[in-house]
Amino acid sequence: MIRALAGRLRAVLPAPLRRAARAILLAWGWLTADLRQEPGIVVVGAQRAGTTTLFRLLSEHPGLCRPTVDKGTGYFDDGYRHSRRWYRAHFPLRWSTRGRTTFECSGYYLFHPLAAERLGRDLPGCQVVALVRDPVARAHSAHRHESARGFDPLPFAEAVAREEERTAGQSALLATDPGATSYAHRHHAYLQRGDYALQIERYVAALGRERVHVVDADALFADPVAVYVDLQRRLGLAVHRPAEVRRWNERPGEPLPPDLAAALRRRFDGPDAALAELLGRAPRWREEALR
């Protein structure tokens, strides 16, 4: 009931009233937090790698329940200053789930240096899904996303050229100061977010390899039903075949200049090789480059 109400409110209310309605729903969630069901599945990112599409697919699965208000909570990254009760307030009442598994999707969890450790400590039985995408295309898409939201005034070529300077010391700050947040780390780390193996290994260390499921977003969009069915089986879910799979939240843009694209591709030779070793196969974007 609460989820349906939240959906209707998002569809018909102007932004200020949506924010007020969200606050009311979360206040009710806080009051009833002891009766709410924490997630058994968490989609951790990567940003601009199909997390919104996967959220829509999982939301349609008859064996799953999404959060009551937003697709994710951000609790294990910048929201960890809040209490565990605050976290539980975002999820359905246990009686309403009728035995279904609850999930959330928060795209910064994969990149934040402490999120895996926090999630493993608080939700040790949870299963994690990490989406990976061609890191060059992902970086370019992320820049369009951050620019459109007013978070980055620089053009893409300058933004990636200055990334190391702009984000210097920020990952170490977050790793050593649990109360810290970093605007630059969250909004300007376009290339670093594509070092997928390093980030996935943190979750393997925190939860065990059997609880960490990697999805190649390029493969997902090439053959969505087959890849999604495979993920459901790995998660131990009954198979649900969606009627439609669209690329939700996509931001089309102009192609990269060939010389810049080639330079960035070389930058990811090492990280892509590390990812291939972790997966036991080359990611789809590398397979396509060899054809």
Q: Which tens digit of pLDDT belongs to each residue from 124-159?
A: 999 999 999 999 999 999 999 999 999 999 999 999
DSSP characters over 129-161: EEEE--HHHHHHHHHHHHHHTTS--S-HHHHHH
Q: Which pLDDT score is estimated for 245?
A: 81
Phi and psi of 212, rounded to 5°?
-115, 120
Residue with tokens 């070529």: 157
Q: Which pLDDT score is estimated for 9?
A: 53
Give the domain extent around 182. Answer: 32-290
Q: Which pLDDT score is estimated for 6?
A: 52
Q: Which pLDDT score is estimated for 287?
A: 87
* Number of structural domains found in the chain: 1
Q: Does 221 fall in a domain? A: yes
- Domain CATH number, residue 233: 3.40.50.300
The answer to whether 180 and 96 are in contact (CB under 8 A) is no
Which residue ranges in the chain fall short of pLDDT 50? Answer: 1-3
Q: Does 62 fall in a domain? A: yes
Q: What is the DSSP letter of 243?
A: S
Q: Does 249 fall in a domain? A: yes
**What is the reported pTM?**
0.92
Q: Does 156 fall in a domain? A: yes
Q: What is the 3-state secondary structure (H, E, C) of 83-110?
A: CHHHHHCCCCEHHHHCCCEEEEECCCCC
Q: Which tens digit of pLDDT belongs to each residue from 43-55?
A: 999 999 999 999 9
The answer to whether 108 and 115 are in contact (CB under 8 A) is yes
Q: Does 14 fall in a domain? A: no
Strand partners, 41: 103, 127
The Cβ of residue 93 has, within 10 Å, a number of other Cβ atoms equal to 17
> What does the alpha-carbon distance between residue 28 and residue 187 come to, in Å, rounded to a whole number?
31
Q: Which two tokens stand for residue 266?
A: 């070389």
Q: Does 18 fall in a domain? A: no
